[in-house]
Amino acid sequence: MFDNLTKTNSAAPNDKDIGQVVADVTRHWASLRRANQAPNRNQIDASTIAYALPHVFLAELLTPRVARFRICGQRIEDLLGLDMRGMPLTALFQGKAREEIAEALEQVARGARVTLSLEGETGFGMPKLTAILALLPLTDASGQITRVLGVLECKGDTGRAPRRFTLTKPLDTVVAMPAKQQRPFLQVLQGGKS
């Protein structure tokens, strides 16, 4: 998806335009939806969102509450100071926020689009850092939501890595999206031997 990207002349917004990258990627994602179904991961056109790629990641849903990075933009990797591939999404968050992110992923696994306001931890060498995180569901070839397209847009200097986040607003920022009926991960079967 992002591997064969060539540079384009797309202009990146200024740091003061916090939220513009999230809005642009979300708009591209929404343009790919058909019949109230989340887009397929193969439909994402990296050239359309080229300037935003340092802020974009693709994560695989291992369970409805756990996702791990498969592809991760440079700006996101700079936050922890290492290659994020294979790491859980929760690696970007502190303590209690990890449970809140698991709840957000559960909503995404059901077909919701989630946008969250974040604040970076502070301390020596860690200046003020705020961010917006969007989590957008993607389907596989069978129409099941198995991937998450994420956008993490920060305002402020990264400072000393690692930088982790907390949520500044509760999870009521979840925006429901009509989705194709998903097969449950577990199904209870009625009947059996009498």
Closest CA to 114 of 136, 132, 138, 98: 136
Higher per-residue pLDDT: 59 or 6:
59
Distance of CA 61 to the CA centre of its chain: 11
Q: Note the pLDDT tens digit of each residue in 110-154.
A: 999 999 999 998 878 878 999 999 999 999 999 999 999 999 999
Task: Find the length of the chain.
Answer: 194
Q: Which CATH superfamily is domain 20-175 in?
A: PAS domain (3.30.450.20)
Which tops the pLDDT comparison, 100 or 187? Answer: 100
Confidence of residue 171 (pLDDT cuts 50, 70, 90): low
CB neighbours (10 Å) of residue 99? 12
Peptide bond into 178 cis (omega under 30): no
Helices (H), the chain: 20-31, 74-80, 95-109
pLDDT digits (tens, 9 = 90+) for 24-60: 999 999 999 887 789 999 999 899 999 999 999 999 9
**Residue 49 structure tokens:** 């969102």
What are residue 95's phi and psi, to 5 degrees? 10, -105
